[in-house]
Structure 1
């Protein structure tokens, strides 16, 4: 429901009421009291004169667009995207938009067709590489129609990625520089070496506590690759993964290997992973290059932003089939988002009510964060055209499109019928690569 509200001075805003999962929530697209002042503040905070091209999501009632237009330099362009046609219609009917519609520097992309919007935006970016300032109007993001939930996520994720700080980027670069000195072999030496071999990817979602002990039965029947955060929970149960991975750039990752620095299990690390941690691990190490940190390598990975998505991409490139996820909840389950004894903990709080919701494996609706939701969508897109079996044996959490959802006990009995000597196979591959630790 959409309703125009006027303040005492005749200035208008739009109240948007939406229903989701039986709950109704309302918000205003602009301040009820001082929309012009709010718009001026927004424009000054988000406009960057260093960029000639600006892409803004959210037309709203146009207040902030007028303010940004007033800041545009000579030759600058402002592209405004709006996916909610009801909002745009309300602006046309209730506001004087002449200064926007007649401005030759402002270009509107108004459509409920997200494919059309995506194509237009991609062309703008391709034509103006490294010269685009992305701006999102938060209240407009909330008003994206529910049928375009994925588009809403893309816009929110776009906004999230803008917040990455210079300090974070410097940390990545410093880690990459230090890690390069290790001369570790590329994880690509494993690519295509495990064709049609079952691979289990172990994460530390809260549902890992339900079936972690079953992984003992899967040992030597599936190649087990664990996230660094799952290493301790596994070893505490005398379950040794065949490989484990660390991708996080923060030094706190050292807690994942503390006390296990010399266990001899090969570590796969992202080129930008915390060099402090990686240098202190004494076992075999393999580096995974990605994106702009590819080091000119023939073998690269698609990280996807999390350790689980990185491992999944590596498992696919290894040739694994089926590929089985365990502990990959991608949501808060009983108020937690990590298993016990892992390197992360999370307790339910009322703040979760402001998070996104996602369909669970049993049709229930679960709370999730934007980051976890991005991993879910990444996984679904990554496996979309792969001709192999993907199984989510997490036994809880979010439903992942394109995967079979099967209990781990049934996966073991139905899919893991052969025995393998993974330790010897891995050592043989490492020796061929000249790894100094073997």
Structure 2
């Protein structure tokens, strides 16, 4: 069997993705490859240049120079440019702490020639005990996506990038683009964890400040609008084309202003039937500042920034979102089952799911561009500054065509919203969905119409929508009784919280004892036994409130703590240090959350 076939069979048995690449893909490069036996080297000619992949003078010196880019504490090593892997033995000799090695080889033509000259199984044996990954024939974006999906849970691993200098000549800008995308992805993930960290505290503050508000449940409206079309009004720039039509269709469709659409409609003298908001941050209040809050009922969840709710003078309708944990847990002590609305990627997605779940069969989108255009970023009246135009492409946005064939600029956030809407539509395909935005990106599963067509074809029947809404508010019963029930539920919740606090206090006390013994020099085996006992007798994990609500609500924080201090090696002392840091920091975070909830509960009991 020749060497290439041996390597092919090897990959077939241990790495089917590489095997499939070798069998089914063409190279991303139009390169000419020649193995020069005299130099044990490969000559490559690409569109960007022509050179050997390794030095023809001194491969050892080349390897030494390459390895200078590896820091001593490196745990994840990314090598751009496999070549003939002349540096393999030196990596093995010098860097024992490296746990994971990733080879990025952009050119399949070159890798095929490598397989004619290197026994891959023997080469891999040099890295015995390490995790080795090959990424073959992928773009910089694809390579980063693969690496990030594998290692995003280990963002605090010490990473080193090294590269074969010849590849920088042969495949211009690949390495630069790869590094830029990789670093950007890490920054986004860390920012996301930080944002979610802040969000947890915002939500807890809001929930316990909003829980006593007088409202009726969205469940009161299940089936009440089944024969009535609904219009969801978002704040995209195309809303400028057709928002005036809303004034003439108010008796023919249920109009729901979503998020920024609330402010835009107010500024343009249009009053919807409902306003809907969801965001827990203080910035959300800008939507409500200086608007007539008595003009239309507000649909909200308790996670909404509390001043949006507390200062709203009009009537209110509450709902539970799937991403909200505390309110459903507390209110189920009163009402056994509650309708859960999907938390979605955007307020429009939440609104869509709500309308579907209360039984509406025809839903019309307006202002749902999911992109920006030359007219601006938002419709007139938005809370966001729309005056300064800027170069969308320069700011990293993707250029696409809108439903009319015009240029539109979008980003991953908008595309995520688009796919989320499309998934919901697909899952509820028995309904009719109309995109009357008159611009922006296409939303699969919708029928594209102008608002004028919608009025002529879909909004033909006059309905007294106001009367339906009024009748539900007029038969709500005693709101004081509801307040009393919530107070009782909160008192029960408070007792459960005290139990969590007690269990967590005992955890901290036990962990601090182990830490104290460690600092005194207690034997490793005794410390390991103590940690083992701690892990096997973790009563907090069995607590229902902690299990169902608290751990989930701060999961991203606990997740970040775990990957910050996690140690996968065999050094027992480092194992103990890692476990102590993870558990102590997690317990201190739980303590902070408990104290925050207790303070909010104290305020709510005083109301």
TM-score (norm 2): 0.51
Other-structure match for 1:221: 252
More deviation, 240-249/339-348: 339-348
Larger radius of gyration: 2
Other-structure match for 1:175: 203
What SS does structure 1 have at the residue aligned with 2:462? Answer: coil
Matches within 5 A, 1:279-428: 279-295=310-326, 296=328, 298-334=338-374, 336-346=376-386, 347-353=388-394, 354-386=396-428, 387-428=430-471
More deviation, 332-341/277-286: 277-286
Conserved? CA contact 2:206–2:280, under 8 Å: no
Q: CA deviation at 1:403?
A: 0.8
Question: What is the alpha-carbon distance in structure 1 between the residues aligned to residue 237 and residue 47 of structure 2?
Answer: 35
Other-structure match for 1:50: none
1:99 to 1:305, Cα distance in 2 relative to 1, 3 A: same
Which of residues 240, 243, 251 is equivalent to 1:212? Answer: 243
What SS does structure 1 have at the residue aligned with 2:294? Answer: coil
Question: What is the alpha-carbon distance in structure 1 between the residues aligned to residue 304 and residue 432 of structure 2?
Answer: 30
Other-structure match for 2:490: none
What SS does structure 2 have at the residue aligned with 1:216? Answer: helix
Q: CA deviation at 1:436?
A: 5.1
Gaps of 5+ in 2: 1-27, 32-40, 49-64, 162-172, 179-183, 330-337, 481-607
Matches within 5 A, 1:16-415: 61=81, 98=123, 105-106=130-131, 132-133=153-154, 160=188, 163-183=191-211, 184=213, 185-260=216-291, 262-295=293-326, 296=328, 298-334=338-374, 336-346=376-386, 347-353=388-394, 354-386=396-428, 387-415=430-458
Question: What is the alpha-carbon distance in structure 1 between the residues aligned to residue 382 and residue 294 of structure 2?
Answer: 18
Conserved? CA contact 2:234–2:258, under 8 Å: yes
Q: CA deviation at 1:339?
A: 0.6
1:174 to 1:332, Cα distance in 2 relative to 1, 3 A: closer
Deviations 1:152-190 (A, max 9, x none): xxxx99985553143543334333443344235443443
What SS does structure 1 have at the residue aligned with 2:251? Answer: coil
Other-structure match for 2:492: none
Question: What is the alpha-carbon distance in structure 2 between the residues aligned to residue 220 and residue 81 of structure 1?
Answer: 64
1:167 to 1:384, Cα distance in 2 relative to 1, 3 A: closer
Q: How many residues align?
A: 372
Which of residues 23, 29, 38 is equivalent to 1:2? Answer: 29
Question: What is the alpha-carbon distance in structure 2 between the residues aligned to residue 382 and residue 288 of structure 1?
Answer: 18
Deviations 1:260-294 (A, max 9, x none): 35314211224432223332222222334334423
Other-structure match for 1:151: none
What SS does structure 2 have at the residue aligned with 1:324? Answer: strand
Other-structure match for 2:602: none
Conserved? CA contact 2:323–2:343, under 8 Å: no
What SS does structure 2 have at the residue aligned with 1:268? Answer: strand
Other-structure match for 1:7: none
Higher normalized strand content (fraction of residues) = 1
What SS does structure 1 have at the residue aligned with 2:321? Answer: coil
Conserved? CA contact 2:249–2:459, under 8 Å: yes
Question: What is the alpha-carbon distance in structure 2 between the residues aligned to residue 79 and residue 403 of structure 1?
Answer: 46
RMSD (Å), alpha carbons: 4.8
Other-structure match for 1:32: none
Question: What is the alpha-carbon distance in structure 2 between the residues aligned to residue 80 and residue 430 of structure 1?
Answer: 62
